[in-house]
Amino acid sequence: MGMAVQRLLVFLARDLPFSKEKRARRRAEKGYGLLNQAMVALGSGDGKSARALSDKAVRLLPEQPLTHIMAAEAAKLSDDGDRVRQHYQALLDDDLAAFLGLRGLVLQERADGHSGKARELARRAVALRPKSHWALRTLVDFAVQAADWDEALETLDKASRAGVYDKAQSTQHRAALLYCQAVDANLANDQPHALELAQKAAGLRPGLPPAVALAARLHRQANQKKQAEKHLLAGWAAQPHPLLLKEWQAHFPTETAFARLQRIERLIASQPDHLESRLALATAAMGLSARIVRWRRWSRFWKAAIRALLCCGRAWRSVPKTRIMAICGAKKHSMASIAPAGAVLIAASPGIAGCLYARLVRLSIALAGMWCAVMAWPCHRPRPRPRRSGYGMDHRGPGGPLIVLAISVMTSPMTDPSGWIDLRACGIILWSLCCAARCF
């Protein structure tokens, strides 16, 4: 009898139409149905319907985190930032969904440009979940944006221990942050601390040219040229860069052009085939005067110049053309320095062969360079009976054959459209070389 009464009371409390549990179940079923409809509307891009349905679902299920998430996404689709913050703020009261609410608030504050508020929320997210990859990355980003290098390094250590970055990435980021600290210390006239930080950055990552250049410059200012050269040599071996070349040349600003060429050869010895090494050697070779070319070590000059310049054209499209053209600026150099410019442009023919204007420019500079070669390499062997070639060129010196060689290289294609070698062009080139060889 007692069991029957108990079952009757349970039935009346649970299954009667107006019972409390029955009403709660109906509200939940209706709320989840509206939530599903809001999800479909949100997926189809109907922000207005998604917002209306999600608001109804929130009223029916105020304690369900999923309804607030859906309402926040619908408000975000409608560009209603206040509603987004309201719904994500409601998630902070739930221990399980608090981190999700913080993440939504961080993203919204960042989108609105409130970096300070977003940074504080990111700190709360890291405190709530110290091993969250997203939270650690976000806090590092905010610290870097605020130039708070100490917090960035501290958070980077936590992120590295949590496995957010691997060893190589952690070393790379740490070197960059140490370099930023060194720059700030240098601007604050704290050179000893700046030198210490720059040395750490260059030691962690020798392939970071700004850090290596800064360390070398601070060593040079402290009259420690050997340490500066050590940093520059290691940095060039890891990653050649114009900053390193500029700092290398600043060690001896009053040296002669030939001494500068020798020192640059020492710098680029670790990576002689790199494009930056070629350009550095080309720039140094352009600085040699006509007197040096004519009377002093001309063979080494031509060896260095041609070896450097003939490789520049291979990467013509991958390097800004203004850099190579600046090297070829004959206005600032003597006539003897036009020859390397011609070599640069001849080597650059694969990248600009289709342009008629560029072809004419290469031809004119090459001819000027070959004229310079004639003036720099006079043939001192007099011939009593000078002979003339089929083209009417005098062979008392190498000028005629070299000019013909330049014309043949610039105007005659080495291959025809079918890909076969043009024997006429090759014959002219071989004839020019043979005639030039007879003059020496």
Q: Which residue has the higher pLDDT, 344 or 61?
A: 61
How much is the pLDDT for 5? 60
Q: What is the mean pLDDT of the chain?
A: 72
Residue 269 vs residue 307, higher pLDDT: 269
pLDDT above 60 for 305: no
pTM of this structure: 0.64
381 or 87: whose pLDDT is higher?
87
> What's the pLDDT at 366?
55
Check if the beta carbon of residue 436 is closer than 8 Å to that of residue 398.
yes
The rounded distance, in Å, linking the Cα atoms of 93 and 65 is 10
CA 293 to chain centre: 38
Listed residue (241, 212, 251, 234) closest to 197, CA to CA: 212
Q: pLDDT tens digits, residue range 358-379?
A: 444 445 555 555 555 555 444 4
77-133 pLDDT, tens digit each: 878 888 889 888 888 888 888 999 999 999 999 988 898 999 999 999 999 999 999
Residue 46's pLDDT band, with cuts at 50, 70 and 90, is: confident
Q: Which of 304, 311, 207, 315 is nearest to 260 (CA)?
A: 304
Round to whole Å and give the CA distance between 175 and 193.
15
Give the Cβ contact number of residue 396 at 10 Å: 15
For range 35-55, the mean pLDDT: 74
Please, how many CA atoms are within 13 Å of residue 69, restricted to the half-sphere of its CB?
Answer: 13
Hey, CA dihedral for 70, 71, 77, 81, is it positive or negative?
negative
Secondary structure string (H, E, C) spanning the chain? CHHHHHHHHHHHHHHCCCCHHHHHHHHHHHHHHHHHHHHHHHHCCCHHHHHHHHHHHHHHCCCCHHHHHHHHHHHHHCCCHHHHHHHHHHHHHCCCCHHHHHHHHHHHHHHCCCHHHHHHHHHHHHHHCCCCHHHHHHHHHHHHHCCCHHHHHHHHHHHHHCCCCCHHHHHHHHHHHHHHHHHHHHHCCCHHHHHHHHHHHHHHCCCCHHHHHHHHHHHHHCCCHHHHHHHHHHHHHHCCCHHHHHHHHHCCCCCCHHHHHHHHHHHHHHCCCCHHHHHHHHHHHHCCCHHHHHHCCHHHHHHHHHHHHCCHHHHCCCCCHHHHHHHCCHHHCCHHHHHHHHHHHHHCHHHHCCCHHHHHHHHHHHHHHHHHHHHHCCCCCCCCCCCECCCCCECCCCHHHHHHHHHHHHHCCCECCCCCECHHHHHHHHHHHHHHHHCC
Which has more confidence, 432 or 398? 432
Picking from 86, 46, 49, the residue whose alpha carbon sits closest to that of residue 69 is 86
Averaged pLDDT for residues 411-430? 45
CA 418 vs CA 218, 411, 425, 429, 434: distances in Å: 59, 18, 15, 21, 29
Cα–Cα distance list, 81 to 61, 142, 298 (Å): 22, 21, 73
Distance CA(401)–CA(389), nearest Å, equals 9
Q: How far is CA 316 from the centre of its chain?
A: 18
Euclidean distance between CA atoms 219 and 427, whole angstroms: 57
d(CA 81, CA 62): 20
Q: What are phi and psi of 334, to 5 degrees?
A: -75, 175
Q: What is the rounded end-to-end Cα distance, in angstroms, of the chain?
A: 131
Pairwise CA distance, residues 403 & 28, whole Å:
93
CA distance 319 to 282: 15
pLDDT top residue among 5 and 345: 5
Give the pLDDT score at 278: 80
- Each residue's pLDDT tens digit, 164-211: 999 999 999 999 999 999 999 999 999 999 999 999 999 999 999 999
Among the listed residues 412, 341, 405, the one whose alpha carbon sits nearest the alpha carbon of residue 374: 405
Find tokens 């936590």 and name the residue: 158
